[in-house]
A and B are shown apart, each in its own frame.
Chain A
């Protein structure tokens, strides 16, 4: 991975391109080698003349050391698989560059301070860049700073590119822009990002980041998507007050932005709670409890004496545990509520004897070929008195903006039912297991397409 820095001097300029050597504090006639944490930095000048000088900064990463090192940030074991990190321009190079060219980055030059302080015509060729985004994004990053962008794709999926930015600027400004923007293009950092990273970002972004139109994207990626850090950084850029909120939030569910204008999820939960109350249910099994939004409502109502949240994901349950603040909850609360890992495609003896079970936007996450197991487990084995089940109405998707034909509201949805399909399934299940079912739309109803979501309430008994 490398950056080629080129300085040109037009005819009759009052400086020589050779002065690049003074600006970089590296003599143009020598090969400069320097060991850094990630490997070795090479700096040399492929060409030097009065009107044109190019300095090459190449980082040769030690690929074996990268995996074997102890202090690396890994994404689990997969990071041990082969990847482009040793070769693509990344935070490794950004950091190594500031080590090898510390004076220059700080805007200092012993011999040519006047040139260091001046805007001069520079070019930086960065190769290869592993793009997380498209050419447009690169332009959005560099053009507001006054650079021209040239981009050549080097592989079929156009992820690996050869990028050149040209502009008239101070050298230190160019290097700071690159320091901040390289990891943004690449959307990764090789080290753990903490609060100090904000200080670095603010310092390197001084004078340009606050006004940059893409500053949100820049901050978000520079701080590795840590929302709390990002908010703090944005707040500091605005020079407004800082608020410390919960870290590492999972972010909104993918369907939420779609459904947000109608506050559908709130409405859904309210309806479910009311339905449970109408049936006098006191013990509730919340199957697929997610992060505990329904449980959080149920706990507020004393008529729900016992509730158990079940989810298939340990990590989701940990978040629910945090959201419900179960660690610091009183015994009066922990006696009523508990969380357990479970799965709708298995039976579970711990589910016997509940008044009601809820499946709020859950069934569509189960593979269609496993629905018979779900029905057997829930209606045949657990057999609560009441089952309240909600699921999206696929017909309504036509009314959501920006949804493509056949697209689903959430990438993990295995299917979405029309009203007729939902009716067919729920009638069949009710008949097989001796329940009576009533269905109703959820959310503002469209005359032709129905509600955005649909609900079925199964009551044990009746038609046997």
Chain B
């Protein structure tokens, strides 16, 4: 029995003549889906697996299929003869393209045996010379396989050896997904030993006693459970290169640290191996120190560097560390290209005015989920950009040495004790914006113009079909406020389950019951204002807004509608309301209480007529007027008619219709008043959605209401919302809530919203509806028509289906919540924007708009 091991991500090329037993060998060791066979491909394109005329197309299919599997990081086995060099060359190229390791398993079987086997099979009536030629070609190429780029080659010389082989699969060296840290990832050291020990001590590592300049390795004990991680470039330019090497080697050997290879380490090893290298860029200093060390130490060092990996792919794929960063399509893979990228980054081949290579900005294009932490390019500050972080803060150039605590995502730095070398160009300038904000000035259409899949922190992924994404993009680009302000769009709200009988279509009983049935009895009822939904982003001042939102419009805040459009046509009006809310935050002390200098409020702005003028004029008022005119004309005619009997039914129906139409008209007018100037507006906030570092969906509605009451006291334009907290299981509480609803709606109120007091409650199946509206009997005339509650109408309207609306409300809530969290976590704007865009996209789903 012979055992070999291959990487669990590789391109396995079987090489052998027809009849050598490749297919049965493949089936024995690999999943059927892992095997891409030329015979099978030939059959797929021609219905005949022996049709040699179809070979060209069959191999196109084979390459395509294998390519897709490799792109998806799946082990793939090529079952074709592959005895010719040019056939193998194509496969090696394919493996390199997807950074998979090409492995050759050779079945070098006597052509006589192959021929015999072929005789016994259908469709294989080849003459004897076919396997013989195959075998000849195979043997010619056997020696050069490694040179062709096949990184691992195993030859089996007889059917017995084929039978005896066992194949084990091992993760690639770079695949460390099972390691979770926590890590302290340390930037480029470049011989700055004192700063390194300062930093390690600050992070809680205990450095064991050592002698300066000796050869024995230095050890450091990490704080509980943590591990250090060096991003490479241990030496050069700095003062104590040898000691740095001793410490890094010591910790790596003791298993208390990892290290990936940097370009300086790579070059140092070239020198160690006696190659001809230029002693520049500070290597001269390192060499001067190492020349005094023993041969044995230098050998040990060389082995150490040789064993350093290009990158580590860790924590279930959530973290990648590489010296110069790494594109997403290279994570956890292996090839020369991966190693070069990881050490040197991606360069265009040109050099800039400072003589440094021009780098392609892979990080700007990065959209992956894994955090990529790297060094290599000295920056003034370590700043996140699209989930990537460069932590080379130029210590050796007089900057600082920085570590990232991960998964905490905190950076810790110690300043350089002095400047040890002159940088070729000044460290990056400070534009006043963070790197991420600078990048986020422009979002990319092609990131969204596709079917979107958004992973939320509710363990559910929300999908948006492409056509809905496109519709949302059109609306966004034509009407919406600057996406830097648009951090959130509110979800639609579920209507309560329909009342089963009586004069009401909606009644608080069903909403309360909905929650109680799900075990939630701590409920609040809030008055529902009729105005227009508005989101208010308010910062302390324009500077605070610019700093946090990266905006350049000089505004201290914006007010936008539920579809992301500016709420006010007039910018001065908007600025005035923003200013008043900001002052109210100030006067009520809420900036301090919430520990923030910006806030996002969810509100209703009254009067309704200010925003809905067009709808009122085109739809609501004409409807009420037409309904009243129609009923009263009929009634007048009926009253004049005395000669005909049996008109009483018609009369009473017409009377009821007239009453309904008047009630609808009255209801509408109650929500409308002229807005000659700003003091005619009322702003009724009902949620404090977010502030710096916080999303307030973890606070109870009682907290929201009480906090907003304080805010409203500080500004007359702000209107409070009536609310009641109650026990849904208590009959008396329920009675009082129903009583309140009845009075409120009879007096012209729109209705009420019933919510779990805890704001966000997770149930057995997803989240519980966060809110449910219960609209008043007269308000519903505006929605369902004036006569909706006549017996013949209401019974049919009760058949309304609520499932889609519930599902939509739940998905939109998750998206909104996800987007807010992404924003407060300072994630790239492209990820925040995706959530807002998705809410808008979902709104284009066909759902009964009356719900």
Residue positions of A touching B, CB distance < 8 A:
1-2, 4, 29-31, 42, 44-48, 56, 58, 63-65, 68, 77-78, 80-84, 86-88, 127-128, 130, 154-157, 159-160, 162, 312-314, 341-350, 365, 367, 369-370, 372-373, 376-377, 380-381
Which residue in B628, B650, B792 is a CB contact (below 8 Å) of A42?
B650
B254 interface residue per 8 A CB criterion: no
Does A80 contact B617, Cβ atoms closer than 8 Å? no
Which of B443, B470, B641, B782 has a CB less than 8 Å from the CB of A44?
Answer: B641
For B297, what are the chain A residues with a Cβ–Cβ distance below 8 Å?
A: none
Q: Is B168 an interface residue (CB 8 A)?
A: no
Most chain A beta-carbon neighbours within 10 Å: one of B476, B626, B781, B792:
B626
* Closest B residue, CB atoms, query A340: B449
Q: Cβ of A377: which chain B residues have Cβ within 8 Å of it?
A: 442
Bound Cα distance A365, B647 (Å): 59
Which stretch from B105-113, B352-360, B513-521, B629-637 is at the chain A interface? B629-637
B765 within 8 A of A: no
State the 9 A-B residue pairs at the shortest beta-carbon distance, nearest first.
A343-B477, A155-B625, A128-B629, A346-B445, A87-B626, A46-B640, A84-B626, A347-B442, A160-B625
- In the bound complex, do residue B621 and residue A156 qualify as a contact, i.e. CB atoms below 8 Å apart? yes
Tell yes or no: B848 within 8 A of A by CB: yes
| Binary interface encoding of chain B residues 278-300 relative to chain A, with 1 for a CB under 8 A from any of its CBs, else 0 | 00000000000000000000000
The yes or no answer to B849 lying at the interface (CB within 8 A) is yes
* Chain A positions within 8 Å of B478 at CB level: 312, 343, 365
Q: Which of B478, B552, B638 has the most CB of A within 10 A?
A: B478
Most buried by B among A160, A365, A377: A160
A131, chain B: closest CB distance, angstroms:
10
Interface residue from B443, B482, B640 paired with A347 (Cβ < 8 Å)? B443
Tell me if B315 counts as interface (CB < 8 A to partner A): no
15 further A-B contacts with Cβ under 8 Å, apart from A45-B643, A80-B850, are: A63-B788, A65-B796, A77-B846, A82-B782, A154-B629, A157-B617, A312-B474, A312-B477, A343-B473, A343-B477, A344-B477, A346-B443, A346-B473, A348-B445, A369-B481
Considering the chains assembled together, what is the distance between the CA atoms of A442 and B443 in angstroms? 33
In the bound complex, do residue A46 and residue B637 qualify as a contact, i.e. CB atoms below 8 Å apart?
yes
Collect the chain B residues with CB atoms within 8 Å of residue A45's CB. 641, 643-644
B849, A128: Cβ atoms closer than 8 Å: no
Chain B residues within 8 Å of A162, by CB: 629, 633
Complex contacts, B532 vs chain A, CB 8 Å: none
> Contact: B785 with A86, CB < 8 Å?
yes
The residue that B482 contacts in the complex, of A30, A42, A68, A369, with Cβ under 8 A, is: A369
A80-B849, A82-B785, A369-B553 as given contacts; A346 in contact with B622, CB under 8 Å: no
Among residues 441 to 483 in chain B, which have CB atoms less than 8 Å away from a CB atom of chain A?
A: 441-446, 449, 467, 470-471, 473-474, 476-479, 481-482
Collect the chain B residues with CB atoms within 8 Å of residue A155's CB.
621-622, 625
- Whether B619 contacts A29 by the Cβ 8 Å rule is no
Say if the beta carbon of B59 comes within 8 Å of chain A. no
CA distance A130 to B470 in the complex (A): 36
User: Does B30 make an interface contact (CB < 8 A)?
Assistant: no
Is B703's CB within 8 Å of the partner chain A? no
**For the complex, is B787 an interface residue (Cβ under 8 Å from A)?**
yes
Please measure, in the bound complex, the distance between the C-alpha atom of A349 and the C-alpha atom of B477, giving whole angstroms.
Answer: 17
A312→B647 CA distance, assembly (Å) = 58
Tell me if A154 and B625 are in contact (CB < 8 A): yes
Task: List 12 A–B pairs whose Cβ atoms lie within 8 Å, in order of A's numbering.
Answer: A30-B644, A46-B637, A58-B634, A63-B785, A82-B619, A128-B633, A155-B621, A314-B471, A342-B449, A343-B474, A346-B473, A347-B443
Tell whether, in the assembled complex, residue A128 and residue B441 are in contact, meaning their CB atoms are under 8 Å apart.
no
13-48 of chain B: CB within 8 A of chain A: none
User: Smallest distance from the beta carbon of A432 to chain B beta carbons, Å?
Assistant: 12
Interface contact A127-B640, CB-CB below 8 Å: no
**B627 interfacial by beta-carbon distance below 8 Å:** yes
Q: Could you say which of A2, A156, A373, A381 contacts B630, with CB atoms under 8 Å apart?
A: A2
Residues in B neighbouring A29, C-beta threshold 8 A: 643-644
- Is B637 a contact of A64 with CB atoms below 8 Å? no
B104 to chain A, nearest CB (A): 38
Distance in angstroms between the alpha carbons of A130 and B625 in the assembled complex? 10
A380 close to B644 (CB less than 8 A):
no
Residues of B within 8 A of A367 (CB): 479
Distance in angstroms between the alpha carbons of A292 and B629 in the assembled complex:
48
If A82-B620, A349-B444, A369-B482 touch, whether A160 touches B634 (CB-CB below 8 Å) is: no
Q: Is B793 interfacial (CB-CB < 8 Å)?
A: yes
Number of interface residues of B (CB under 8 A): 59
Q: Which of B709-742 contact A (CB under 8 A)?
A: none
Known: A128-B633, A369-B553. A47 touches B646 (CB 8 A): no
Minimum CB distance partner of A160 in chain B: B625
Q: Residues 839-851 of chain B: 1 if any A CB is under 8 Å from the residue's CB, otherwise 0? A: 0000000101110
User: Is B622 in contact with A130, judged by CB distance below 8 angstroms?
Assistant: yes
The reply to whether the CB of B68 lies closer than 8 angstroms to some CB of chain A is no
Question: Within the complex, which residue of A64, A88, A159, A380 is in contact with B788, where a contact is CB–CB below 8 Å?
Answer: A64
Q: If A81-B619, A127-B629, A128-B625 touch, does A381 touch B442 (CB 8 Å cutoff)?
A: yes
Residues of B within 8 A of A1 (CB): 626, 630
Report A-chain residues with C-beta under 8 Å of the C-beta of B442.
Answer: 346-347, 373, 376-377, 380-381
B481 contacts which chain A residues (CB < 8 A)? 369
Q: Check if B767 is an interface residue, CB within 8 A of chain A.
A: no
* Cβ of A142 to closest chain B Cβ, rounded Å: 20
Closest Cβ–Cβ distance, residue A395 to chain B (whole Å)? 24
Confirm or deny: B783 has a beta carbon within 8 angstroms of a beta carbon on chain A: yes
Q: Do the beta carbons of B445 and A347 come within 8 Å of each other?
A: yes
B641: A residues at CB distance < 8 A: 44-47
- Complex partner residue of A31 from B633, B644, B783, B797, CB under 8 angstroms: B644
Minimum CB–CB distance from A404 to chain B (whole Å) comes to: 18
Are B445 and A343 within 8 A (Cβ)? Answer: yes
Residue of A nearest to B800 (CB): A68
Whether A47 lies near B644 (C-beta < 8 A) is no
Contact of B622 among A30, A159, A349 (CB under 8 A): A159
Docked complex Cα distance between A86 and B631 (Å):
11
Nearest A residue to B638, CB-CB: A46
Closest to B471 in A: A314
The answer on a CB contact under 8 Å between A31 and B647 is yes
Residues in B neighbouring A87, C-beta threshold 8 A:
623, 626-627, 629-630, 661
Among A80, A81, A86, A341, max chain B CB count under 10 A is at: A81
Asked whether B444 lies within 8 Å of A77 as measured between CB atoms, the reply is: no
Cβ of A442 to closest chain B Cβ, rounded Å: 25
Closest to B664 in A: A82
Task: Give the Cβ gap from B703 to chain A, nearest Cβ, in Å.
Answer: 35
Q: Nearest chain-A residue to B475 (Cβ)?
A: A312
Q: Is B673 on the interface with A (CB-CB < 8 A)?
A: no
Q: What's the Cα separation between A343 and B477 when bound, in Å?
A: 6
Task: Establish whether residues A372 and B552, one from each chain, have CB atoms under 8 Å apart when the complex forms.
Answer: yes
Given contacts A44-B641, A160-B625, A160-B629, contact A63 B793 (CB under 8 A): yes
Most buried by B among A44, A84, A343: A84
Please indicate the chain A residues that have their CB under 8 angstroms from the CB of B210 in the complex.
Answer: none
Cβ-based interface call for B306 (8 A):
no
Instruction: Tell me which residues across on chain A come within 8 A of B788, comparing CB atoms.
Output: 63-64
How far apart sit A347 and B477, CA to CA, in the bound complex (Å)? 11
Which A residues are CB-close (under 8 A) to B785? 63-64, 82, 86
The answer, yes or no, to whether B784 is at the interface (CB within 8 Å) is yes
CB distance from A46 to the nearest CB of B (A): 4
Are B623 and A84 in contact (CB-based, < 8 A)? yes
What residue in chain A is nearest B441 (Cβ atoms)? A376
How near does chain A come to B3, taking the closest CB pair, in angstroms? 48
A345 touches B782 (CB 8 A): no
* CB-defined contacts of B644 to chain A, threshold 8 Å: 29-31, 44-45
Residues in B with CB closer than 8 Å to A46 are 637-638, 640-641
Indicate the member of A65, A78, A87 with the most B CB atoms within 10 Å: A87
CA distance A15 to B787 in the complex (A): 43
- Cβ of B630 and Cβ of A128 under 8 Å apart? yes
Closest to B474 in A: A312
What's the nearest-Cβ distance from chain B to residue A151, in Å? 13
What distance in Å separates the Cβ of A66 from its nearest Cβ neighbour in chain B?
A: 9
